[in-house]
Amino acid sequence: MLRFAEAQQRVLSAVSPVGVERVPLAQANGRYLAQEITATLDLPPWDNSAMDGYALRAADLSRVPVMLTINEVLAAGHQTAAEVKEGTASAIMTGAPVPPGADTVVIVENTDGALSGSVRVLSQTPAGANIRRRGEDVRRGQSLLQRGRRLEAAEVGLLASLGQREVCVAKRPVVAILATGNELVQPGAALGPGQIYSSNTATLRGLVLQAGAEVLDLGAATDTQESVCAALRRASGADVIVTTGGVSAGVFDVVRAAFDELGVHWDFWKIKMKPGKPVAFGWLQEQADRSLVFGLPGNPVSCMVTFLQFVRPCLLSMVGDDKPFLPMIETIAGQAFQKKSERTEFVRVRLERQGRDWVCFSTGSQSSGVLTSMVSGDGFALLGEEVRAVAQGAPVRVQVYNPRLLHRAVEVDG
């Protein structure tokens, strides 16, 4: 059986980048840059005042207090300004361009008698004070953001300050999701004997959106090759196809047969991991277009674990993210962990802060049948193939999936 780490590498090797598109800045949040961003202008674009005050010549402050005649009042956005000559000053607002002749701004708090035609400057101010120089923050031609950068609020704001209205980003990968199983009933309907509610599509939708991709919901198919095939044909154009259920060893496993009928090239079918042993991976090639295909297990936890380990890295890698895996932290085992299998195990754990350490505890039941262990956990303790047991107090690496974990790092006293 294939080792976990090798399976992850094989998935990443099969990834090719999605296309690029230009989007308005208002739609750029959370997208990934497909171009390098180089400054197209100096920021600030001209010398301007960092404070409300008076623009003047430092030479006039050799003796203070000194009275200076006010030329005019310069607001931000002011476009022409009189020269500041000896013995004069121009009132200036934060952000307004420094007028010709002036080399210094004295802040309003160090003056007296403003706006009555003249101003008394009370204290000396070194030449150049309170002026933001053209290009001080960003120089035209300077490289600011690299390809593959995820655009958060600050990055989008920076693009706007350069005057960009649009930005070139990776397209969102489209992920077709198909649930399979005769036992599945849609939420909202009544549950008959032997039936359970279909929940994997709901979970996967959230995981796909979190990974910055789009969902193409193929609904649920019954356990016949025809039903699965018919649903999969509607996935045309998807970058990734994800099915859940129907990949284990049983005679009712028709997903594999359906994919075979469509011509999937299989890479692997089983992995030495727990939960999640039956995970299929391959691709459908249609001329230049390749759809990556993941057959995930039907158990809710197995489905989620295998998505996070294989499909999420695949989606992030497609858009150029250089950190496609869940972040990993060093923790201390808060309890002993036993391990029976020879597979890599992903134990759902809660993380507690104890002094400077993160300490991990099993969420209790590790049942893969329901998501309560995921909901109460913060991450996966990663127990490698060779591990048989972890003693209390031993180091354990944990992959973090709770985005809010850092809130537990320090108790803030208010």
Q: Which residues, 253 to 292, sit near a second copy by CB under 8 A?
A: none
> In Å, what is the CA distance from 197 to each residue of 183, 202, 217?
8, 11, 16
Residue (327 or 393) nearer to a second copy, CB? 327
Bridge partners of 234?
none
What DSSP string runs through 249-295? SSTT--HHHHHHHHT-EEEES-BSEES----EEEEEEETTEEEEEEE
Instruction: Return the number of other C-beta atoms located less than 10 Å from residue 401's C-beta.
Output: 20
What letter represents residue 107's amino acid?
A: I
Q: Select the residue interacting with a second copy from 20, 66, 168, 405 (CB under 8 A).
A: 405
Binding flag, residue 205, a second copy (CB under 8 A): yes
Q: Select the residue interacting with a second copy from 329, 352, 385, 387 (CB under 8 A).
A: 329
The phi, psi pair for 108, rounded to 5°, reads -60, -30
Residue (97 or 284) nearer to a second copy, CB? 97
Q: Select the residue interacting with a second copy from 55, 156, 255, 264 (CB under 8 A).
A: 156
Stretch that binds a second copy, among 153-161, 168-176, 230-238, 281-289 (CB under 8 A): 153-161
Site string (95-114) toward a second copy, x via CB under 8 A: xxx----------x------
Q: Select the residue interacting with a second copy from 153, 340, 386, 391 (CB under 8 A).
A: 153
Binding flag, residue 407, a second copy (CB under 8 A): yes
Residues 23-52 close enough to bind a second copy by CB under 8 A: 25-26, 29, 41, 43-46, 50, 52
* Nearest to 103, CA basis, from 121, 118, 90: 90
Stretch that binds a second copy, among 14-22, 196-204, 255-263, 286-294 (CB under 8 A): 196-204
Q: Which residue has the tokens 């209390």?
A: 392
Residue 371 CB, nearest approach to a second copy (Å): 5
Residues 331-350 close enough to bind a second copy by CB under 8 A: none
Residue (217 or 352) nearer to a second copy, CB? 217
| Strand spans (E) along 48-126 | 48-49, 53-56, 66-74, 88-92, 104-107, 111-112, 118-121
Q: Select the residue interacting with a second copy from 22, 36, 100, 197 (CB under 8 A).
A: 197
Stretch that binds a second copy, among 22-30, 56-64, 230-238, 288-296 (CB under 8 A): 22-30
Taking the alpha carbons at both ends of the chain, their separation in whole angstroms is 53
Residue 210 CB, nearest approach to a second copy (Å): 7
For 267-270, the CB contacts below 8 A with 24+ separation are 267/10, 267/11, 267/14, 268/2, 268/7, 268/10, 270/1, 270/2
CA atoms within 13 A on the CB side of 156: 16
